[in-house]
Structure 1
């Protein structure tokens, strides 16, 4: 099978029962994506597949043959961090750091979904542009758990990137 992960092509010969999370961690040594619950309930394994966020523990790698995958390692690097990574640092949007990669990747995906006018359960107008209020951000990030309860700082970090991208006219 063929995967493009963080812009690099990989040809893999794997057991068809292998999850995408296990391929990333065990076959490609990309350990930023965390194995939390292994049941899709915590969000620690969140990655982007073709620009959309998914829980990598719930999908088989063979289902993504030819897909473009982005992990936390693909968003930025030391000295050249993604805006969301910088914002999490600035707002102290982490404590132990275990959930942080999934939170950051999920936040980037969530801003893309909002930009494309995907509604959430708390979106008032299903036909218009969703206002990313704190309640809207919290709802959209509800699939990512933080056992240290850094939620207010995470919302602040996301809001800062959202506000900056709106002001600059750039995508987050």
Structure 2
């Protein structure tokens, strides 16, 4: 991946395209944990790709590319959420129902979605995306201790939610 980053920094659009394609699934999962709408997810991903292309020269170390890209993506997701809060919704009926086939385990998805935003994001970045707590700290711009405590509380809530499902 570092070779692709180096080539992309030198202005090679094919290398940049390959780099972004290699990260597409990771970007989708991260955006999906924040946004529920596929159109918003696509907007966040496309905005992230554009920013990455424009600012790739500002990346200090190639090994932190994924962390850097994920932070940009989460900022774009938060921008979309802020814009959505400012909008006044008219009564709309969706043309097609919003069906998600992305997660095979619906109980896991339901439990994850029932977590508070700050816990869900940390749990998703740690377990689904595979980031270390130090990397999550950088992505979210919060202390590493906060990441660890949110991760612990998120685990507790998930365990409680999943245990209730088993009992019922």
Fold match by TM threshold 0.5:
no
Structure with greater strand share of residues:
1
If the length of structure 2 is used for normalisation, what is the TM-score? 0.30
If the length of structure 1 is used for normalisation, what is the TM-score? 0.29
Structure with greater helix share of residues:
2
